[in-house]
Amino acid sequence: MTSRKSVAALSAIVAVALSPLFAEAADPDALRQVVEGLCVPHEAADGNPAPCRLVDLADRYVVLKDLFGRTQYLVIATDAITGIESPALLANNARDYWQDAWGARRFVDESAGQAVPRDFIGLAINSVKGRTQNQLHIHIDCVKPEVVAALRLNEAGVGPSWQRLPFALSQHFYLAMRLEATDLSGVNPFRLLADGVPSAKADMGDQTLVVVGATFKDHRDGFYLLSDHASGSDIASGEELLDHSCAVLRQGAS
């Protein structure tokens, strides 16, 4: 059994590793150490996933509360997958990590103390240049109010294939496509990006991918898929579209 001292030590490693203030000094294996050294063995030994909130041994992922923000969570693969650049994510039998992340939004609800509307929830994976950790993880949190408002206002201009938005989100111009689906079961956004954007498949490590829930004006449920490419000072960190203060719940989005 892992001691409380070990738990505290690894938690401290994660706190430093995930902090933007310590990005250059971050241990890129911190998340993997927590998953492999604490969450998975604890779940296997006695059904207690701590310090994770959930460990799914069968489907090979965990849910961990990020130390930054009241409502931010991470879905982390338990397999050795570094990130968006991994060919395993494009395989025919690839795990539905995005559906796992979408399902984990219930933890955001718990932390928020209310059910968060689907179009206020975003899932994001950063590029190699835009991340500090080399273990596949998807961020789950509220979306910035201005992002929610911009997507609602421009719904008619986003179709079922990738196209560049004519406006910036967090000062970057994203590609976007619309997906009509209640959830992400059987949907592989990694493959939609790799197959739908010229040159993306050969350059996945420089891509960032964000999935934002939507309820369209015709009342159908769906998602916006957003992607940016690292170039120059743009490190392609789609997490920039998320708001770890979850202001959208206080302000709404007009």
Residue of 183, 213, 211 lying closest to 120 (CA atoms)? 213
For residue 105, give the nearest of 223, 16, 231, 13 by alpha carbon.
Answer: 223
pLDDT of residue 11: 53
- Encoded tokens for 33: 């150490």
pLDDT of residue 113: 96
DSSP structure class, residue 245: T
pLDDT digits (tens, 9 = 90+) for 77-109: 999 999 999 999 999 999 999 999 999 999 999
Structure tokens at 130: 């835009």
**For 160-189, how does the pLDDT look when each residue is reduced to its tens digit (9 = 90+)?**
999 999 999 999 999 999 999 999 999 999
Q: What is the pLDDT of residue 23?
A: 44
What's the CA gap between 204 and 227, in Å, rounded?
A: 11
> Residue 72 and residue 139: Cα distance in Å, rounded?
7
Beta strands in 143-243 (DSSP E): 163-164, 175-179, 207-215, 221-229
| Element at 140 (helix H, strand E) | strand 137-142
Per-residue pLDDT of the chain (254 residues; tens, 9 = 90+): 445 545 554 555 555 445 443 344 579 999 999 999 999 999 999 999 999 999 999 999 999 999 999 999 999 999 999 999 999 999 999 999 999 999 999 999 999 999 999 999 999 999 999 999 999 999 999 999 999 999 999 999 999 999 999 999 999 999 999 999 999 999 999 999 999 999 999 999 999 999 999 999 999 999 999 999 999 999 999 999 999 999 999 876 55
What are the extents of the domains in the chain?
4-251
Contact, 184 vs 102, CB < 8 A? Answer: yes
Taking Cα atoms as reference points, which of 148, 96, 146 lies closest to residue 122?
A: 148
Give dist(CA 42, CA 48) in Å, integer.
6
Whether the CB-CB separation of 18 and 66 falls below 8 Å is answered with: yes
Residue type, position 138, single letter: I
Question: With contact defined as beta carbons under 8 Å apart, do 30 and 131 qualify?
Answer: no
What CATH number belongs to 4-251? 3.30.428.30
Strand partners, 226: 176, 210
